[in-house]
Amino acid sequence: MNSTSPIDWSYTARNGEGLHAHLLGTVDFRSAVELQTQIATQIAARCDRRGVVLLCEHPPTISLGRAGSRQQLNGEQSEFHQNQIELHWLNRGGGAWIHAPGQLSMYLSLPLDRLRLAGTLVVRQIAGAISAVAQELRVPTETVGPVATCSGTKDERRSLAVGVKGRAGQFGFIGLDGTNEVSQFGGIVNVSVDRQLLRLVDWQTETGRASTLAAHCQRPVSIGTVRVSLVRNLARELGFENYTLSTGHPALIRTYRKQHVAIQATPGSPSRGY
């Protein structure tokens, strides 16, 4: 499906063998992970080649992948607990990430064997999709970090973060679990995230920090525009002939919790990432 083609919302299209994207809005972290686990189980039980991607934002939360450690946290665990920022350890590639509003999280579930895809190849395809999104915004990019960091090798902890960067720094991060027959997790794209939140972790980049698409564009960037562009480019990179979009998911169980984050902003600097 190209950028000028109308989106097919029909039941037949949604249940075909393309890439189906669920646009979930803001979802707490645990609910998104549990939903993807349920979807992965359903995909494993089927025989088709259909892929599913969940796209959402999260309240401030920290996740740590296979290359993550508490040394990446720029603060004491008691401080995170006081500010109700949860920590989650995941079996994904990559290190510590802060999830926050203004960041697009993708959870990609693909039947790897049926699509004849290896996890390392999917990492490259995700990077290609993120780069294409940025290029549509006229942001020059390059892919960073060895693909081996997402495959669970011994060199993983010594490697830079896998993802996509521009002149202002890295804004796309990839952390896939491609060790099973159905892939899980995926990556994040910092669109316009509070810079003080981004500084809560060492991102394992060359500078230890992360950037945003808005910082590269030097203007506000619509997360809705990035979301649709990402789906379109993911489908193309993964070799799907079509993609479909829907809002929400019938199996999503949202858990709402009070969220209070006390961040000391740098005097004279804007709080948003642009």
Q: Give the per-residue pLDDT at 104.
A: 98
> pLDDT over 70 for what percent of the chain?
81
Higher pLDDT, 77 or 67: 67
Tell me the C-alpha distance between 23 and 125, whole Å: 20
Tell me the C-alpha distance between 29 and 22, whole Å: 15
Q: Give the per-residue pLDDT at 255.
A: 57
CATH superfamily label, 14-247: Bira Bifunctional Protein; Domain 2 (3.30.930.10)
pLDDT at 3 over 60: no
pLDDT at 108 over 90: yes
Average pLDDT over residues 85-97: 94
Q: Give the per-residue pLDDT at 66.
A: 92
Q: Where are the alpha helices (H) located in 99-167, listed in sequence order?
A: 112-115, 119-136
> pLDDT over 90 for what percent of the chain?
70
Q: Where are the domains of the chain?
A: 14-247
Per DSSP bridges, beta strands 19-26 and 243-247 are: parallel
Give, in degrees to the nearest 5, the angle at Cα 120 between 35 and 25: 30
> Among 99, 169, 186, which residue's Cα sits nearest to residue 134?
169
Q: Give the per-residue pLDDT at 16.
A: 61
Q: Give the per-residue pLDDT at 257.
A: 54
Q: Give the per-residue pLDDT at 146.
A: 64
Average pLDDT over residues 73-96: 89
Bridge partners for 56 per DSSP: 25, 105
Tell me the C-alpha distance between 97 and 94, whole Å: 8
Tell me the C-alpha distance between 59 and 99, whole Å: 7
pLDDT digits (tens, 9 = 90+) for 128-164: 999 999 999 999 999 987 653 444 444 443 446 899 9
pLDDT digits (tens, 9 = 90+) for 11-68: 444 456 799 999 999 999 999 999 999 999 999 998 999 999 999 999 999 999 999 9
> Among 99, 118, 111, 112, which residue's Cα sits nearest to residue 33?
99
Average pLDDT over residues 180-196: 95
Q: C-alpha distances in angstroms, 67 versus 51, 92, 100, 126, 203?
A: 26, 9, 20, 19, 11
Tell me the C-alpha distance between 160 and 149, whole Å: 8
Tell me the C-alpha distance between 21 and 115, whole Å: 17
Tell me the C-alpha distance between 229 and 252, whole Å: 24
How confident is the prediction for the chain on average, in pLDDT? 84
